[in-house]
Amino acid sequence: MGWKDKTAGVCGFLFNVLAPKTCLYCKKDQKYDYLPPLCGECLKNLEVIRFPYCSSCGTVLDSGGSLCYSCRHEKRKKSFAFSRSAVMFEPRIRAVIHACKYNGYKKLSRWLGEFMAERIGKYPELGGYGLVVPVPVSVKKAAERGFNQSELIAEALAAGTGKKFCRDGLLKSRETRSQAGLNREEREKNLADSFSCPEPSKIKGEKIILVDDVATTLSTLNEAAGVLTKAGALEVACYTLARE
C-alpha cells in the first residue's frame, strides 16, 4: 500500500469519526465516500413508476387502463401534452426533497437531477423534447431559500441528457401564497397570472420539458405550461421528480 492509499484511509477514518455520513431517511451510517443521500436499501425501495401509468398525468395505475380516475373526469383544459415523474412521492424521496428545500442542502439538487436523468429513459415519449425549462419561484422565496431547487434540478437533468437548458424561460411575476393545504380550485386561483415569459424568442418553436420537484394537483405545471404555449412554445411536456 502506497502513501497515497494510506493517507486516503486515514482521512476516511477521520471523516467517519468526525462527520459521520448517514442515510437521510433511515439514518444508518454510510461510508464517508458513499455519494447518494439514501442508503442502498432505501434507494432500492423507492416507489419507481412503471407501466401501466396514466397517459396524461403519469400516476401509477394499479388496475391498468390508460387514464386514471381523475383524468377520466377532468374538465379543465390541460396546457401540457402529458406529465411524467421519476418516482412516486413517498417518505424516502420526501426526506431528500425536504432536506434540499428546507434544510439548505443545496448540493442535493444535483443528485436529484441526475437521478431524473437516469429515469427519463423509461419515458421514450419525452425523447423528442429538446429544451429544459424549470418552474420558477418568486424573488422573495429565492432570497429566503438561497436558490430555486427546481432550477438546479433542471440544470443537472439537462446536463445528464444532453438537452438544452433555459434558466429564464419563465419568471414568477408576482408573489403567491404557499400551495400547501390548498385544494385544486384554490391552487388555480392562487397561481393565476403569476408566471411570465420574459424572452419569448428563447422558447418559440421549441418542444419543452417543464421541470419541477413534485407534482400534486398539477395546477402549477398547467399554469406555467400555458404561459409557455402562449409565448410560442411548440409543445410542453412536464417531468417532475415525484408524483404525489
Find the helix packing angle between 108-119 and 91-102, rounded to 10°: 140
User: Which pLDDT tens digit goes with each residue over 107-117?
Assistant: 999 999 999 99
**Residue 210 has which C-alpha cell?**
417543464
Q: How confident is the model over 142-164, as a mean pLDDT? A: 96
> Reduced to 3 states, what is the DSSP secondary structure of residue 158?
helix
Rg (CA), the chain: 19
Q: How far is residue 231 from each of residues 8, 15, 200, 205, 212, measured CA to CA in Å?
A: 53, 51, 5, 9, 20
- The most distant pair of C-alpha atoms in the chain lies apart, rounded to whole Å, by 68
CB 61 within 8 A of CB 127: no
**Residue 170 has which C-alpha cell?**
419563465
What's the pTM value of the predicted model, to 2 decimals? 0.89
User: Buried (b) or exposed (e) across 78-109, using 16+ Cβ within 10 A?
Assistant: bbbbbbbbbbbbeebbebbbeebbeeebeebb
Q: How confident is the model at residue 11 (pLDDT cuts 50, 70, 90)?
A: very low
Q: How confident is the model over 27-33, as a mean pLDDT? A: 91
Give, for 235, the enclosing helix (H) or strand (E): strand 235-243
CB 170 within 8 A of CB 136: yes
The CATH fold of domain 35-243:
Rossmann fold (3.40.50)
What strand order describes the sheet that includes 164-165?
A: 83-88, 235-243, 207-215, 131-134, 164-165
Q: How confident is the model over 126-141, as a mean pLDDT? A: 95
Q: How confident is the model at residue 8 (pLDDT cuts 50, 70, 90)?
A: very low
Is the predicted pLDDT of residue 20 greater than 80, yes or no?
A: no
Report phi then psi at 118, rounded to 5: -65, -35
Using the 8-state DSSP alphabet, how is residue 9 labeled?
Answer: H
Q: How confident is the model over 91-104, as a mean pLDDT? A: 95
- List of residues 6+ apart from 135 with CB closer than 8 A: 150, 170, 210, 211, 212, 220, 221, 224
Is the predicted pLDDT of residue 159 greater than 50, yes or no?
A: yes
Is the predicted pLDDT of residue 186 greater than 50, yes or no?
A: yes
